[in-house]
C-alpha cells in the first residue's frame, strides 16, 4: 500500500513536472517577440547573445552587478542544489558511473551549503524591509519547502540509518515499471513527499524563472535592428494598407 502510494505519487509528480514545464516552454517559444528590445550595450550577433545568456545562467552576471550579498547567497544555493541533485543520481543509475562516485563527498558538503544559503536568503528576506515588503506567502513557502527538503535529507544522512539499497531498488523499479518495496521510515517518507510536492508546484510557481531566464528578450536578442528587419507574424498584417513609394 505504502509502496503503491509513493509510486503513484512519483509518477504523478514526474508527469506534472515534465508536461507542465514543457507546456510553459512551448508557450514562451511560440509567443512572438515583436520588437528588438535587448538591454544595451548588447552583443550584435546570435553567438554573442547566447554567451550573454550563458553568463546569466552560469554566473548570474546581472545580479552580481545588482547586489553582492544576494548574488553570493543565491549562487551558492544554486550550485549546491546542482551538486546535491547530481549526488542523488546514484539512486537512479546502475551501475554508478565513476564520476558520480567521485562527486559523492562534494554533494554532501553541498548539502550544508544548501541549507545555510537558504537560511541566509530567508533571513535577508525578513531583514531588509524593502524585500520583506515585496514578499508574498508563496515566497516564504518556497524557501520553507526547499529548506525542509534539505534538512530532512541531512537528517537521513546523519540521524536515521536508511536502507539506501532498498531506496535505490524502489526508484529503479519505478523506472522499469516493476515496483519494489519502499522502506517505511518516517523521515524518508517525509523527504520524498516534500520532493514530490516541489516537483508538482514547479511549473505553477516562481520556480519558472528556471525556464524564463532563457526566453528573456532583453538578454537573448542580438542588437542588430538596423541590419536586419524583424517582423512578427501578427505585425505583418498591419502592412497591407501602408502607403507605397512611388514607382519610377
Partner 1 sequence: MSQESFQVPPLAADPEANGPPQPETEATGHVRPHPAGPEHQEALGFPGEIPDDWQERALARMESLLERNRALRVYMDACVRCGACTDKCHFYLGTGDARNMPVARQDLMRDVYRRHFTPVGRNFPSLVRGRELTREVMEAWFTYFHQCSQCRRCSVFCPYGIDTAEISMAAREILDAAGFGQKYTNEIIGKVHKVGNNLGLPGPALEDTLEGLEEDLKDDTGHDIRIPLDQEGADILLVTPSADFFAEPHVDGLMGYAKVLHQAGLSWTLSSYASEAANFGMFIGSYEQMKQIAERIRKAAVDLGVKRIVVGECGHAWRVAYSFWNTLAGIGRGADADDTYARALQRQLDPRYPVPQHICEVTQDLVERGAIRLDPEANSHYGGVTFHDSCNVARASRMGQRPGGQLEIPRQLLRASVHNFRDMADATIGDETFCCGGGGGLLTDELMELRVKGAQPRVSALRETMDEHGVDRMVAICAICKAQFSKILPYYDIPRETVISLHEVVGNAVRLDRSEA
Contact residues toward partner 1 (CB under 8 A) are 24, 27-28, 31-37, 39-44, 56, 60, 62-63, 65-67, 70, 74, 125, 128-131, 133-139, 141, 204-206, 208-209, 212-213, 215-219, 223, 225-232, 234-235, 238-239, 242-246
Task: Report the residue number, 129 or 177, with the smaller CB distance to partner 1.
Answer: 129
CA dihedral 155, 161, 164, 167 (to 10 degrees): -70
Reading the block at residue 200, the C-alpha cell is 508538482
Interatomic CA distance for residues 147 and 153, integer angstroms: 10
- Least separation, in Å, of the C-beta of 133 and partner 1? 5
Smallest separation (angstroms) from partner 1 to the CB of 216: 4
CB 73 within 8 A of CB 115: no
Cell of 230: 524583424
Q: How far apart are CA 146 and CA 151, in angstroms?
A: 9
| Residue 7 C-beta: closest distance to partner 1, Å | 25
Q: Which residue lies nearer to partner 1 by CB, 32 or 47?
A: 32
Task: Tell me whether residue 43 or residue 107 sits nearer to partner 1 (CB atom).
Answer: 43
Smaller CB separation from partner 1, 78 or 88: 78
Q: Are 175 and 92 in contact (CB under 8 A)?
A: yes
Amino acid at each position: 500500500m505504502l509502496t503503491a502510494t509513493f509510486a503513484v505519487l512519483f509518477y504523478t509528480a514526474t508527469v506534472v513536472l515534465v508536461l507542465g514545464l514543457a507546456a510553459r516552454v512551448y508557450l514562451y517559444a511560440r509567443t512572438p517577440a515583436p520588437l528588438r528590445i535587448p538591454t544595451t550595450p548588447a552583443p550584435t550577433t546570435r553567438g554573442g547573445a547566447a554567451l550573454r545568456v550563458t553568463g546569466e545562467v552560469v554566473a548570474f552576471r546581472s545580479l552580481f552587478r545588482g547586489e553582492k550579498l544576494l548574488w553570493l547567497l543565491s549562487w551558492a544555493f544554486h550550485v549546491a542544489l546542482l551538486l546535491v541533485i547530481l549526488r542523488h543520481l546514484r539512486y537512479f543509475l546502475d551501475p554508478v558511473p565513476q564520476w558520480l562516485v567521485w562527486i559523492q563527498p562534494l554533494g554532501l558538503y553541498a548539502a550544508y551549503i544548501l541549507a545555510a544559503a537558504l537560511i541566509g536568503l530567508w533571513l535577508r528576506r525578513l531583514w531588509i524591509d524593502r524585500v520583506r515588503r515585496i514578499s508574498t506567502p508563496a515566497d516564504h513557502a518556497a524557501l520553507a519547502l526547499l529548506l525542509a527538503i534539505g534538512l530532512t535529507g541531512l537528517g537521513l544522512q546523519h540521524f536515521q540509518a536508511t536502507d539506501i539499497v532498498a531506496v535505490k531498488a524502489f526508484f529503479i523499479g519505478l523506472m522499469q515499471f516493476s515496483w519494489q518495496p519502499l522502506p517505511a521510515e518516517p523521515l524518508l517518507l517525509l523527504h520524498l513527499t516534500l520532493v514530490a510536492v516541489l516537483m508538482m508546484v514547479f511549473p505553477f510557481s516562481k520556480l519558472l524563472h528556471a525556464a524564463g531566464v532563457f526566453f528573456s528578450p532583453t538578454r537573448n536578442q542580438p542588437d542588430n535592428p538596423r541590419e536586419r528587419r524583424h517582423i512578427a507574424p501578427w505585425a505583418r498584417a498591419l502592412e497591407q494598407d501602408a502607403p507605397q513609394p512611388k514607382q519610377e
